[in-house]
Amino acid sequence: MDQKVILITGASGGMGGAISTLFSTENVKLALQYNRNKVKLETCENVAHFQADLTDELQVSELIERVLLKFGRIDVLINNAGVSHSAMSWKTEASSWKETMAINLDAPFFLSKHVTPHFRAKKSGRIINITSVVAQTGFVGTAAYAASKAGLIGLTKTLSKELVSSGITVNALALGYFNVGMIEDVPADLQEQIIRTIPAGRLGDPKSVFKTIKWLVSDEGDYITGQTINLNGGLYS
C-alpha cells in the first residue's frame, strides 16, 4: 500500500471502525474522522484521529487542511459516515430528512470538493463512496436514506467524469446488510427476516468491503471509475 494516506470518515462507527482496523495492518497512514463518539483504534505514528461535524462545510475544509498538515498528503478518501432514521415517508419530519441528506449526501460532496484541489495538484487520488442496496431497491421506511444514497451514486458518476483526466477515480460501494454498525439498531426478529431475503443466507463481513477498497485503490484500479460495486450477497444484481 506504499504508505498511502487514507482518510476514513465515520471511523467511530461499526463499518468505519472495522475497515480502519483492517487497514491498520497494512503499510498505510490512517486519518480517522469521528463526530460524537470515540474511535476505538488507538492513535500512533500512523494513526491520527480528527473530530469534525461533516455537515458543516467549513469544518470539512479545515479537516482536509488538518490531515494535510499532519501527514503531508491524502491519497484516498473513503466517504463512509452516514445515518439512517426509520420512518414512513408521510411521517418523516423535515428535520430528519434534512439531517439525513446533510450527512449522507452533502458531506461526501463537501469532502470531495475540498480534497479535489490537492488530488488535482498531484494528479492522483481515489474517492470511495459508501452507498447502500436500499438506493437500488427501495425499502419501506427509508425514504430519506434511500434518496440520499441514490444521490451519492449520481454524485459518484459525475465526479468520475470530471476528475478522471486528472488521475482521480471515484467509485461507490453499494452495501447490502453487514454484521456491524447500523444493523445493531435493527430488532432481532427483523434481522432474521432480512437474512432470509439474502440469497447468501447471511450478513456481509467488513473484510469484503476492505478487500474491495484495497483493490480499487491499488495501481490495478486506475481504470475503474464511476462504478457502483455491489456487495450484497446476491440481494440485488
Ligand X SMILES: NC(=O)c1ccc[n+]([C@@H]2O[C@H](COP(=O)([O-])OP(=O)(O)OC[C@H]3O[C@@H](n4cnc5c(N)ncnc54)[C@H](OP(=O)(O)O)[C@@H]3O)[C@@H](O)[C@H]2O)c1
Catalytic residue numbers, as ranges: 145
Residues that bind ligand X (CB under 6 A): 10, 12-16, 34-37, 53-55, 80-83, 103, 130, 132, 175, 177-178, 180-183
Q: How far is the CB of 61 from ligand X (least distance, A)?
A: 14
Break the chain down into helix, strand, coil percent, rounded to 5: 50, 20, 30
Cβ proximity to ligand X, 57 vs 222, nearer residue = 57
Cβ proximity to ligand X, 140 vs 165, nearer residue = 140
- Give the span between the Cα atoms of 169 and 127, in whole angstroms: 6
Cβ proximity to ligand X, 35 vs 137, nearer residue = 35
- Give the span between the Cα atoms of 220 and 83, in whole angstroms: 32
Place of cell 450527512: 103
Cβ proximity to ligand X, 116 vs 142, nearer residue = 142
CA 176 distance to own-chain centroid: 13
Strands lying side by side in the sheet with 28-34 = 47-51, 28-34, 4-8, 76-79, 125-132, 168-175, 228-231
Q: How far is the CB of 176 from ligand X (least distance, A)?
A: 7
Q: How far is the CB of 84 from ligand X (least distance, A)?
A: 6
- Give the span between the Cα atoms of 161 and 15, in whole angstroms: 28
Q: How far is the CB of 139 from ligand X (least distance, A)?
A: 10
SS (H, E, C) 2-33: CCEEEEECCCCCHHHHHHHHHHCCCCEEEEEE
Q: Name residue 48's beta-bridge partners.
A: 31
